[in-house]
Structure formats: structure tokens, C-alpha cells
Amino acid sequence: MKIMKRVEFESRRKKEEVKFNWKNFFYLSLFVWIFSIGGFFISLFQKIFFEKDISKEIKVEIVKREDWGADESLLFWTKESKVNDRTALVYQKYPEDLKIEKRVLKIDGKNLKVAKEYAVDVKRIVIHHTGTNQDFSKSENVEKYLQDLLKYHTNPNSGEEFTGDIPYHYLIAPDGKIYEGIRGGDKVIGSHVYGANTGSLGISVIGNFNTEEITDDAYKSLKNLIEKKAIEYHIDPRKSQIFLGNEIENLAGHIDYEDFLIDGKKQITDCPGKNLIPKIDKLRKETSGFFDEEEKKSNKMLMFAFLFVVSFGLMLYSREIAIREKSLTKR
Ligand SMILES: [Zn+2]
């Protein structure tokens, strides 16, 4: 009997020795808890304040309309402005997608030939080529081309192409120079993708990429411009969206809009050309660095939030046990 008791006592003593120290565990949880609060706010701070600096780093110079010799008088006439017909079925079907912020009929008291409509926001980027086989190695040739393009689209005899201005927001020359297209900024609704122009930023590379290859300079400018605009308007090039009932990549080529059925009509196109189309996926990857970083920051915040909750729970639990044990030993 005596021996038995001794053995029992020994084992109990050993158990006592290796017994978990809940008080220390409480302090450890407290430390992790404070650490997670700090981490969360540091990552939140990084997410909020280091965002704009990246877009400033991307160098994008734009040749303004006045600098490429846009004849602004071509936009106006004395007749009433032609207003976009919004009675089509697609406007009733997708009012949110095609919502406009404002419509401008006059600038400086002069009637625009075609009223300008503004989207609420820029939601996606569409890549085009102009499909033109000319010598664009000299800037004056590019300028002449743009002046003619403006003339064509402001000519009431151009039929469906009478859109009142350049169809695209930006055009890129083989030397990498980026030219301002349509007047009115990024939110003004262009005429580059059939039925799907609202909130679509059109960038066109000058040339025909069914027969030629994009130059390195033009590609670099295209990449920089996409990246800058993607950050500016929070358009993640890696993701897609639902627009007019279709799933479409946030950064797409004109050809990707071929399946869009607008009031029973589809548009057939090979734009931006068979040599440029395969490069769009590469552009998506190369312009999404900012969004990769953002995702990392969000994941970090999530991790700290998770740590916060878990450590807080453990803190309460270990505190409870430590108090109970203390009261037990007191007895
Ligand atoms: Zn196109």
C-alpha cells in the first residue's frame, strides 16, 4: 500500500511539472494579439497610401489634340446636334451598363455635330489597330492620318462612320508616341466597339497587325498606357466582368467583343490583327503588377485579421484557465 501511494505521488508530481503554463500562454497570446493589431494597421496604411505613387512612376506622355493639328472647327455646325438614339432594346435591357453621367450638345455656345455622352466611369479597356498600311515612320504622316481620320468621322456623308469625332481615346504610333483621340477625356463615350462603348476606353495602335508586327516602342507605350489607366480606374487586367450580359475580360481586344449580340446584331472584326491578338494575354500579365501587389496587401491584412481573432480567443481562454488554476492552488 505504501509503495503504491508513493508511485502515485511521483507520477502526479511529474504531471504537475510538465503541466501547461496557461499564464505564460496568456501573455504569448496577448503579444500576438498586439502584434496582429499593429500588422493590420501597417498593412492598411500601406494599402491606402502607397497606391497613387505607383501610377505616377509610369511615364506616359500624350500628344494633345492641339499639338497634332486637330481642326476643332470640324466638330461643330449650326444645325442641331445629332443625338445618340437610346430607344434600342439594349438600353432597356441593360440600363445600368449603359448609364450616362451627362450629355453635351454645345461647347462654348457652338452646336456639336454629334452630342457627346459621358459614361459614369471607365470600366474596361479595349485594344484596337487602325488597320492601315501606310508609312507611319514620320510623325507628320501620323499627324496627317489623324487629321484625315477626324475629317472622315465629322463628315455627315460618312454614313455610320459619322460619329462626330475620332473613335478612340488614344492612338499609338510606331515610334511609341501616344496621341490624344476623341475630345472630352477618358469617360467620353467613343465609337470603337459596336454597341459596347459606354465605359470602354479605346486604345488603337496605328498600323495593320494582320500584315506587320507591332514595334517595340509602340508595345512599350501600349503597356504603360494600359497600366496607368488600369490603376487610375481600378480595372484589374487579370479579371473579367459581365457587360451587356456577356463575360468579357477587363482588358480585351476588339475581337473579343464579337460575340456581343446588340439588338440581334453582331460585329465581325479581326481587330487588332492576328499578330497583336496573341500579345494581349502577355499585356494582361505585364500590366497587372499593381494588382498583384494589392492582392498581396489584402492577403496580409486578412492574415493579420485572422491572427487577431484567433489570438484574442486564445487570450480569453488562457486567462480563464489561469484564473481558475490560481484559485484551485489557493484552496
Ligand atoms: Zn477595332
- What is the per-residue burial (b if ≥16 Cβ within 10 Å, else e) of 3-42? eeeeeeeeeeeeeeeeeeebeebbeebbebbeebbebbee
How far, in Å, from the CA of 188 to the mean position of ligand 1?
Answer: 17
- Each residue's pLDDT tens digit in the chain (331 positions)? 555 555 565 656 555 556 788 889 999 999 999 999 999 999 888 878 776 567 778 889 999 999 999 999 999 999 999 999 888 899 999 999 999 999 999 999 999 999 999 999 999 999 999 999 999 999 999 999 999 999 999 999 999 999 999 999 999 999 999 999 999 999 999 999 999 999 999 999 999 999 999 999 999 999 999 999 999 999 999 999 999 999 999 999 999 999 898 888 888 999 999 999 999 999 999 999 999 988 998 899 999 999 999 999 999 999 999 888 877 665 5
Q: Where are the domains of the chain?
A: 15-49+298-330, 59-287
Backbone angles phi, psi at 147, to 5 degrees: -60, -40
Its CATH architecture, for the domain 59-287, is 3-Layer(aba) Sandwich (3.40)
How far, in Å, from the CA of 176 to the mean position of ligand 1?
Answer: 19
**HSE of 35 in the Cβ direction (CA atoms, 13 Å)?**
11
Answer for the pair 174, 137: CB distance below 8 angstroms, yes or no: yes
How far, in Å, from the CA of 246 to the mean position of ligand 1?
Answer: 18
How far, in Å, from the CA of 129 to the mean position of ligand 1?
Answer: 6
Sort residue 117 into left (φ over 0), alpha (ψ -120 to 50) or beta: beta
Nearest CA to 91 out of 166, 164, 169, 189 is that of 189
How far, in Å, from the CA of 46 to the mean position of ligand 1?
Answer: 38
How far, in Å, from the CA of 311 to the mean position of ligand 1?
Answer: 55
For residue 4, how far is the Cα from the chain centroid?
A: 76
